Amino acid sequence: MEDPSGPRERNNDDMIKEKDKIFDYIVRTLTQTLNMSPTDISMDLSLRDDLILDSLQLYELVIDVEEAYDIRLPDEELDEIVTIEDVVNTVYGLTAN
């Protein structure tokens, strides 16, 4: 008998891998913009408070992400994005559909 948890685990692994890819892309983008070491960037960092991105840098990040993933980040969702993890989850949600 096949284990029903097998496919669920595989899907969870795929989700984690995809989110890791999105995070890696964001890290590459931020390290170029901010001249930071990739090791200094983590999922829980606040874009405004920790990374101190100004409005132009935030706009450029949004444009880069939208172009890279061929998505449109809705304005109402942008207001809810605080951390890098929020960006990753939002991009994943828009690309997983």
The structural domains of the chain, with segments of one domain joined by +, span 5-95
Which 8-state DSSP code applies to residue 51? S
The CATH superfamily assigned to 5-95 is ACP-like (1.10.1200.10)
First CA to last CA distance, the chain: 31
How does pLDDT run along the chain (97 residues), one tens digit per residue? 455 544 444 588 999 999 999 999 999 999 998 989 999 999 999 999 999 999 899 999 999 999 999 999 988 888 899 999 999 999 999 998 6
* pLDDT at residue number 4: 52
pTM: 0.85
The residues, ordered by sequence, that sit 6+ positions from 84 with a Cβ below 8 Å of its Cβ are 23, 26, 30, 41, 42, 43, 44, 45, 47
